């Protein structure tokens, strides 16, 4: 039962990455990237439940923090039109 949840989350991540491809503006692509990384964090939590390993949750925490910093600074970079 929990395997079906993992497969459906992977399919939803692929569907969300379509928004990165067809997004009209750069902020749509940024939103698609944010939502897709959030779904990948959920998938890592489900994998940690399936394999019963604790260190996968540390990987999920690191991935969340790195995605936060990168998305925040890409948003500032786009808003200031390339001036850092």
Partner 1 sequence: MIRETIGTIIICIGVLFVAIGVFGLFRFNNFFDRILIGSKIDTVGFITICTGALIRSGLTWFSLKVLLLMAVVMIINPVITHAIARSAYHGGFRLKEEDSDASGD
For residue 10, state whether it binds partner 1 (rule: CB under 8 A): no
Which one, of 30, 60, 66, 15, lies nearest residue 42 by Cα?
60
Minimal CA–CA distance to 30: which of 65, 82, 78, 84?
Answer: 78
Whether 16 contacts 40, CB under 8 Å? no
Site for partner 1 in 38-77 (CB under 8 A): 38-39, 41-42, 45-46, 48-49, 54, 57-58, 60-61, 64-65, 67-68, 71-72, 75-76
Instruction: Look at the block and give the residue holding tokens 């939803």.
Output: 12
In which element (H, E) is residue 63 found? Answer: helix 55-79
Q: Least distance to partner 1 from the beta carbon of 42, Å?
A: 5
User: Which residues bind to partner 1, rule: CB under 8 A?
Assistant: 1-2, 5, 8-9, 12, 15-16, 18-19, 24-25, 27-28, 30-32, 34-35, 38-39, 41-42, 45-46, 48-49, 54, 57-58, 60-61, 64-65, 67-68, 71-72, 75-76, 78-79, 81
């Amino acid at each position: 039962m929990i395997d079906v949840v993992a497969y459906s989350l992977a399919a939803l991540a692929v569907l969300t990455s379509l928004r990165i491809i067809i997004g009209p503006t750069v902020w749509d692509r940024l939103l698609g990237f944010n939502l897709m990384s959030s779904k990948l964090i959920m998938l890592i939590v489900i994998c940690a439940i399936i394999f019963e390993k604790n260190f996968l949750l540390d990987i999920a925490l690191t991935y969340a923090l790195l995605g936060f910093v990168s998305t925040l600074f890409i948003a500032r970079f786009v808003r200031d039109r390339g001036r850092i």
